Amino acid sequence: MRKLLTLCVGLICLSAHAQEDKQVVKANYNLAAKFSPAKLRTMIFSTDVKPNWINHSDKFWYEYQTPAGKYWYLVDPAARSKQLLFDNADMARQVTKIVKNPFDAQHLTLENLKFTDDEKRIRFEVKSTKDTVKNKEELAKLKNKSDSLKKKVFHLEYDIANKELREISDTLKEKTKPSWANFSPDTSRIFFAKNYNIYWMDKVNYDKAVKDEKDSTIVEHQVTTDGIQYYAWGGDQYSTTTGDEKEDEELKKRKPVWLSWSPDGKYFALTRKDNRHLSALWVINNVSAKRPTLETYKYLMPGETDSTEIELYIFDASSLSSKRVPINAFKNQTAGIYGKNRDKSSYSGKHFINYWLGTNEEFYISRSSRDLKRIDIVAVNIDGSTRTIVEERSNVYLDIKKPYFINNGKQFIHWSQRDGWGHFYLYNTDGTLVKQLTSGEFNCCDITGYDLTSNQFTFTANGKEEGEDPYYLHHYALSVNGGMPKLLNKGDYDHQVSVSESGKYFVNNYSRVNTIPASELYNSNGQLIMKLEEADLSQLFAAGYKFPEPFKVKAGDGITDLYGVMYKPFDFDSTRVYPIVEYVYPGPQTEAVNKSFGRSMDRIDRLAQMGFVVITVGNRGGHPDRSKWYHTYGYGNLRDYGLEDKKVAAEQLADRHPFIDIDRVGITGHSGGGFMSTAAMLVYPDFFKVAVSGAGNHENNIYNRWWSERHHGVNEKIDAEGDTTFTYQIERNTELAKNLKGKLLLATGDIDNNVHPANTIRMADALIKANKRFDFLLLPGQRHGFGNMTEYFFWKMADYFAEHLLGDSKSYEVDMTEINRENPLRK
């Protein structure tokens, strides 16, 4: 009898525990709201040093903000000195006296700070609350003529030696260069586009235009006459609003034309393409004005016929005559002119000149087949002749970088993945391969400098340091003569560098997701010159913040290492069991896995505070900075390639951690992540239970040609007559709509001109036809990133996971109090 009673009591206890497990766990809205973007701005200040190199020298200044305020520093690497650019209290006193608005040492707002050419003074602007009349150009643009006042901006100059501040005329302020101005190397002529053609004006008339764009006395000279919309020499519009009365007026405006100049200024080159045959796409802005407006733009979808080729022209700058250069090698090829790096020789006075990469007689272009399996680097002579100096060939799509010329232009360093990894190769300019400079199972990224005297170049690379996360970036030096790369910034962190123009020094910003960011100054030998800053996160930690946890798991093949980050609630209880949510982006151009501190904190960390374990993890076919095999794993299977890895990553983590409930798995992402999260629900409907999918390209057959054909592949066929055609076939989410079992929220902006709303609407159509229940959110007037409705979307996502993973649909109400609390005056 006692045994029976004991058994009954035990069963009752087990039943009670089972009931307790099924009880609703309230979502922690208050904790999530504590780490909103607005709140984070009051807890996280500067996390890196952004050097402003002074007049092309090795000296630089930077501003850095902490809970104590913002401070400005001047650094002289050669002298190993760092000092305040001015005393904040003294500067606040002097600014207050001139501007008549009160400032103090902790609350200085100085904008557009620049050094004068003699480096003895700095100039900056301070906004005041004083009303002043708008200038002539601003008044001309007014729709409401009564709105003629603006707040005065004071233009100030500070003498560093004398520590004296004075107001200067706004005429002394360096005028903002018009975006349409393309200067010749001697700055005597300024080129621009208007009504789809090339024009130029002289310096005198340019100065008039800077003062007043509509000055009727400005003299312009037309260069080309046959430019029309979608077959333009420059100034072609990406998007137009059909029937808008302002369209004719828009054609008369000056717009940019991208010219690439020879170093001596005698020639310039540009490309042109006839896009008139391309089909249009439309979005309707329902909330734009009194009437909804139709936006029309050209959009080439994968597999569609492209009947014209890119044209390359060389212009004689004196006669303004042009010649078309024959560069066709592949049907529907892409081609681009390489520009010179932005160094001192790219400037004339204060004007940036876009020089071509090359000499006075020759410049370089890239030429790629439509399927990107063939890429050439081609030298183009000013006489119109061409020669191919590098050919890259592959059975999958290729990536390429701009060649880096060294040794006074006699040789160049070429980046290639021809051995399965991104490495550097030394070439002569005649196309002869001299040798491979780097090799091994790591990825070289960008060249950051070259020293002719030592014949040494510096570059960034990842995956070389044993025992580290292979995504962590480092800075290296290597002699062109041979040897092993020398590591310049040691430490098991992700390092981001900014190199001085001379290449003698670099600022090194470094952190991991679980360390405090710091910044240091090094010389080109890897010697530490000085520590610059360490971020002050004291207020963030005081609010309860805890670092996330990096992890490593195996991919679905049991071999490939995948790297991820786990975000837990800051009130984490190890005795509880939590749903797991995956934040995903499949790539292939990147992976949504943070490597350094602070990125996407308001999105991923904050979602975890609702009461979830949130993870991000890579997948085969993801990030390009690993092996070529890893990067192109999804080639030909752009829907399903990453899903298995997302599934097995969650399973492995659940095996390691008893606090993860593998029966409650959510998934979310935006754009490619929106596409992937919905695909996960349809390919593994019994595993993934809830998804929130934002702006997903659910039908990649109607997404843009460049991304879809590149990463999925397009088939090129050549018939017996030599005609080339292209075919494209890809799996779509809509084909699997019948598989949906869990809860799905689809969201899109209604004027998304990147991933067209049709992607989400067609997904909804397929689900309706499959008789599936799902949820749909349309964000009016929003493009691809959701703009000013991003915060609204976050809380809708939080609600959805709270209801369907935690069983909590009562913690939220109609009013989004989490947003309203931060905007108390919002109506």
| Angle CA 37–43–46, to nearest 5 | 95
Q: What is the pTM of this model?
A: 0.92
Closest CA to 113 of 102, 95, 126: 126
SS3 of 383-450: CCCEEEEEEEECCCCCCCCCCEEEHHHCEEEEEECCCCCCEEEEEECCCCEEEECCCCCCEEEEEEEE
Amino acid 235: pLDDT: 87
Closest CA to 609 of 23, 35, 21, 44: 35
Amino acid 14: pLDDT: 40
Which CA distances in Å does 805 have to 582, 658, 815?
13, 17, 22
CATH superfamily, region 22-41+540-820: Alpha/Beta hydrolase fold, catalytic domain (3.40.50.1820)
Domain boundaries, the chain: 22-41+540-820, 52-167, 401-536
pLDDT under 50 in the chain at which residues? 1-22, 239, 827
**195, 222 Cβ separation under 8 angstroms:** no
- Write out pLDDT tens, residues 220-243: 999 999 999 999 999 886 545 555
Amino acid 825: pLDDT: 53
Number of other CB atoms surrounding residue 350 within 10 Å: 10
Which CA distances in Å does 676 have to 593, 619, 700, 705, 797?
15, 12, 12, 19, 16
Q: Is the peptide bond before 548 cis (omega within 30 degrees of 0)?
A: no
In CATH terms, is domain 401-536 a member of 3.60.130.10?
no
- Write out pLDDT tens, residues 377-404: 999 999 999 999 999 999 999 999 999 9
Write the CB contacts of 684 (distance below 8 Å, at least 6 apart in sequence). Answer: 643, 647
Taking the C-alpha atoms of residue 476 and residue 216, their distance in angstroms, rounded to an integer, is 55
